[in-house]
Structure 1
Amino acid sequence: MHRSRISTILFDTPEADAAAAFWSAALGVEARPNDDEPQFTSLPGGIAGLVTAVQRIDGEPRFHIDMETDDLDAETDRLTALGAVEVSRWLECRTLRAPGGHLLCVIPVHSDRAEFEAAATVWD
């Protein structure tokens, strides 16, 4: 048994400063650079219930989601059994491409544990 939920939406772009300024104004929230991981600019409260951020990337602009889980192996196996393909790993993050071409990352729980447990789906 393990649990998972969509926790994060990321605006990926090489134009991160402009994107952060736009999404900050569009969502009515303050853009906060992340000193520990400078490729990320947080948009706290941008989308209710989700971590929202801009991520600086080298490729084409896109959106991607993060699935947080209490078991990385089990969640990766579950999603690949549904047709996703693992394309890379970075630290504890596993990047998958879902059918249809969309990217998603499987990450360890990073939200408040009680919030995660209340919102996550339990999988057998």
Structure 2
Amino acid sequence: MHRSRVYALLIDTPEPEAARAAAFWAAALGATAEPLPGYEQFTSLHGAMSGPLAAVQSVDDEPRMHIDFETDDVDAETARLVALGASEVSRWQECRTLRAPGGHLLCVLPVESDRAVFEAEAKVWP
């Protein structure tokens, strides 16, 4: 048995456009854009949404949006999503990148949010 929840909506933006995109999305969503210390490719959009975190991620790829799932068992959550039809694309540190049916990317990562928030909001999976 493990638990997971949607942790973040990421706005993937080509690196040369990331700063402009972060400024746009912050203004459009009434948020504050703040770089994530130690993770220079991410700019948090504080106050953009209630619930999941919103952030701009600088990428070496096409613009898109993707969802991050946080979980207390990355292997079990990855297996659950693969059983539902996703396929594993890559691994980065402890995170897994998957492609869902239809082509959308999603990531599975260890718990990042406040533990009490995770405990209160995560779904339990067999």
Residue 6 of structure 1 aligns with which residue? 6
CA distance in 1, matches of 2:108, 2:89: 12
SS at match of 1:31: strand
**Greater mean deviation of Cα atoms: 33-42 or 68-77:** 33-42
Residue 47 of structure 1 aligns with which residue? 49
CA distance in 2, matches of 1:111, 1:34: 14
C-alpha displacement at 1:51, in angstroms?
A: 1.0
What CA RMSD, in Å, does the superposition of the two structures yield over aligned residues? 0.7
Residue 114 of structure 2 aligns with which residue? 112
CA offsets, 1:96-121, max 9 Å, x none?
A: 00001110000000101111111111
How many residue pairs align between the two structures? 124
SS at match of 1:99: coil
CA distance in 2, matches of 1:102, 1:108: 20
- Aligned-pair identity (%): 69
Residue 103 of structure 1 aligns with which residue? 105
Residue 62 of structure 2 aligns with which residue? 60
CA offsets, 1:36-87, max 9 Å, x none?
A: 1111111012111111100001111000010000001100000000000000
Residue 21 of structure 1 aligns with which residue? 23
SS at match of 2:39: coil
Residue ranges of structure 2 left out of the alignment (5+ in a row): none
Residue 74 of structure 1 aligns with which residue? 76
CA distance in 2, matches of 1:51, 1:31: 12
CA distance in 1, matches of 2:2, 2:68: 16
**Greater mean deviation of Cα atoms: 78-87 or 30-39:** 30-39
Residue ranges of structure 1 left out of the alignment (5+ in a row): none
The letter for the 2-side match of 1:3 is R
- Give the structure with the higher percent strand: 2
What is the TM-score when the length of structure 2 is the normalising length?
0.96
